Amino acid sequence: MDIELTEEQRQVRDMCRDFAAKELAPNARRWDEHHEFPREAVKKLGELGLMGIAVPAEWGGGGMDNVSYAVAMEEISRGCGGTGVIMSVSNSLYCDPVMKYGSDEQKAEFLRPYASGERLGAFALTEPQSGSDAAEMKTVAVARGDEYVLDGAKIFITNGPQADTILVFAQTDKAKRHKGITAFLVPTDAKGFARGKTDDKVGIRASGSCPLFFEACAIPKRFRLGAEGDGFKIAMGTLDGGRIGIAAQALGIARAGYECARAYAKERKAFGQPITQFQAIQFMLADMATEIDAARLLIWRAAGLKDKGARFSAEAAMAKLFASEMAERVTSKGIQVHGGYGYVKEYDAERHWRDSRITEIYEGTSEIQRLVIAGNLLKD
């Protein structure tokens, strides 16, 4: 089994590593503190082909594979966890389904400028009363003449405050529950669309999320993505890919936490010697490095299966489950290595822990990943 990156994948990694070191890491603490969206950096990600990595070049994307996407997500998230999720939503949750289900006419309008990073997309599934139980959504879309009219609300929508178009899921036939859900491309200048206040989050504060409101929001019928009733399957298939992106984001955040702990441990002295001389610290660093490598292997396996066109739902869920919980453990140990300095904002250790925490919640909680994995294990 070959677990080496190809020459092209190594080039993507090196390019992203360089970009993260120059453009992201030096600004990440300020973006976090001021809850500031990294507009210039996101524009540059687009110019580097990183906002639609696996979208073919003819549709404005990077024309690369999903392993490259995972590698890029790790490096970008190592520089800034918040920037990582902005990129992941654009790639996995917006460009991927529009590429897969969009007509050429829809791709020209709703994919090309998004994959190239001129515009930003978002994905709106979650509602106030339905997070894990996604099919329980209340937002409705009623067909009227040449239009659909949307009414309802979504919450916690990453990229919501900045997005130009949002992939919105709504019920077109409530009696059919998940089989009555349909996907729509809703431009954020549509009449009847409004955003709520940006969420004041614990971590990944460079990225914005907010509630969305639809009040008699009319969009042309041609903005429907896929057929009526296909929305739930589109959402679930999309989230399979998204979970690879979030797993790689968690991996990048964990690496940042591990690397700053290692650097601190090499400098810090206690009882007359560097703390790296103590087995307590050595063992923590050893566990952190081992878990990081294990997560990477799970992520590359899931991405490789996606590249082959094979089923990868369970493998993506395993990667996301392990990488997110690993990131929380590793960044928490990173704080421990720093002692008191880990608990104050002058050091980055606490930010990495705060950034890691959400990866166990969004795009399916750890509990949902276990359900997906078990469901696949017990299928036959």
Positions touching ligand CAA (CB under 6 A) are 85, 89, 93, 123, 125-126, 132, 134-135, 156, 158, 178, 232-233, 236-237, 239-240, 313, 362-364, 368, 371-372
| Shortest distance in whole angstroms from residue 156 CB to ligand CAA | 6
Q: For the chain, first and last CA: distance in Å?
A: 28
Q: Which is nearer to ligand CAA, 24 or 135 (CB)?
A: 135
Among 80, 117, 112, residue whose Cα is nearest residue 99: 112
Task: Report yes or no: 203 and 275 within 8 Å, Cβ to Cβ.
Answer: no
- Alpha-carbon 50 to chain mean position: 13
| Shortest distance in whole angstroms from residue 240 CB to ligand CAA | 5
Indicate the Cα dihedral angle 61, 66, 68, 70, nearest 10°: 120
Q: Which is nearer to ligand CAA, 84 or 334 (CB)?
A: 84
| Shortest distance in whole angstroms from residue 324 CB to ligand CAA | 12
* Whole-angstrom distance, CA of residue 210 vs CA of residue 201: 10
The CA–CA distances, whole Å, from 304 to 25, 70, 71, 203, 260 equal 28, 10, 12, 30, 30
Give backbone dihedrals phi and psi of 267, rounded to 5 degrees, phi first. -95, -35
Q: CB atoms < 10 A from the CB of 122, how many? A: 28
| Shortest distance in whole angstroms from residue 158 CB to ligand CAA | 4
Task: Report yes or no: 225 and 184 within 8 Å, Cβ to Cβ.
Answer: yes
Q: Which is nearer to ligand CAA, 75 or 315 (CB)?
A: 315
Q: Which is nearer to ligand CAA, 83 or 313 (CB)?
A: 313
| Shortest distance in whole angstroms from residue 373 CB to ligand CAA | 10
Which residues, at least 6 apart from 196, have a Cβ–Cβ distance to it below 8 Å? 210, 211, 212, 213
**The one catalytic residue among 291, 325, 350, 363:** 363
Active site residue 363: yes
Among 174, 153, 82, 87, residue whose Cα is nearest residue 122: 87
* Whole-angstrom distance, CA of residue 132 vs CA of residue 135: 9
| Shortest distance in whole angstroms from residue 339 CB to ligand CAA | 33
* Whole-angstrom distance, CA of residue 301 vs CA of residue 77: 19
- List active site positions: 363
